[in-house]
Amino acid sequence: MSDSARMLSGVIQSLGRAKVLDGTAKTVSGWVAAVTRPTWIKNALSGSWLGHQLHPMLTDLPIGAWGAAVALDLTGGEESADAARRLVGLGILASAPTALSGASDWSSTRGADKRVGLVHALMNAVASVLQAGSWIARRSGHRRTGIALSALGLGLTLSSAYLGGHLSFVRGIGVNRTAFQSQARSWTDVAADGEILDGTLVRVIVNDVPVMLTRQDGRLHALSAVCTHAGGPLDQGTLDPDGCITCPWHGSRFRLEDGAVERGPASVPQPLWEINVEDERILLRAADSN
Ligand code: FES
């Protein structure tokens, strides 16, 4: 590990150990949970309609707009002043949905990840305030002040982006937890047909992959047992009468029929397994659609 990577890793570890942040994290998390309780809001912010998380995609908008504004400030001269001010304003507008989607994702994290995520959010909030100050300064004719505030804000945003990258790529927040599971395409005998009673949830293993097997209204269903959101055990979840399974960790709901997400925070459908019953034995294989 290089000296710089070691130094940054040390900073992040210190943030992750800062239990002084827990009170604030708990309060803010409660607010986020209240705001995102309606299913349509949770799904919209989680990216359940998109097939992967929304937040990483939205971050490009404010960072792009504010980065372009600074580039114009540095290279465009006086005639680019209006364009740069508009870019700062666009970035501020884009930062609102970006922050909301990030807050929704963050509310499902725990421990050190939650503390680092809180610092990430606070840095972004301060960066947005600096950009708002820049827009006001530019608007009132104080272009140099506006340029300085924009540069400061962008620097803070990029530092915060490092924390976001750490949470995604080092800690795996937001990564589909079934992405690296094997896709067994040959039929595997997993249980006797009579063992799976209506309304029960059973965990079976196919080629090292845990699969949740259940029967509802006489019909067998099989989905990967590891929740795509953060790895919760679906076989310990709740079978809902409307043909869905609810994850016990953060309440994502998946349709038994095809694994589709009915409620976030999950954004990736649950992998589906095909079922064949032969000689009163249940055989499974990964569905083509996975
Ligand atoms: S692990 Fe988060 S909803 Fe399943």
Given a contact cutoff of 8 angstroms between Cβ atoms, the answer to whether 43 and 263 are in contact is yes
- 15-61 pLDDT per residue, tens: 999 999 999 999 999 999 999 999 999 999 999 999 999 999 999 99
* pLDDT at 290 > cutoff 80: no
The predicted-structure confidence for 173-198, as pLDDT tens digits, reads as follows 999 999 998 777 899 999 999 999 99
pLDDT of residue 136: 98
pLDDT given at position 233: 98
Any ligand 1 atom below 6 A from CB of 163: no
The whole-model pTM stands at 0.89
Taking the CA of residue 237 as reference, the ligand 1 atom at the shortest distance is: 4
Query: How far apart (Å, rounded) are the C-alpha atoms in residues 22 and 113?
Result: 11
- Confidence check: pLDDT of 215 > 90: yes
Architecture of the domain made up of 188-286: 3-layer Sandwich (2.102)
Determine the distance separating the centroid of ligand 1 and the alpha carbon of 51, expressed in angstroms. Answer: 15
Q: Which atom of ligand 1 is nearest to 265's Cα?
A: 3
**Is the model's pLDDT at 252 over the cut of 80?**
yes
Half-sphere exposure of 141 (CA within 13 A, CB side): 0
88 Cα to the center of ligand 1, angstroms? 36
Residue type, 120: H
Amino acid 184: pLDDT = 77
28 lines ligand 1 (CB under 6 A): no
How far apart, in whole angstroms, are the C-alpha atoms of residue 59 and residue 98?
6
Say if strands 209-216 and 201-206 run parallel, antiparallel, or are unpaired. Answer: antiparallel
Boundaries of every domain in the chain:
3-170, 188-286
CB 265 less than 6 A from any atom of ligand 1: yes
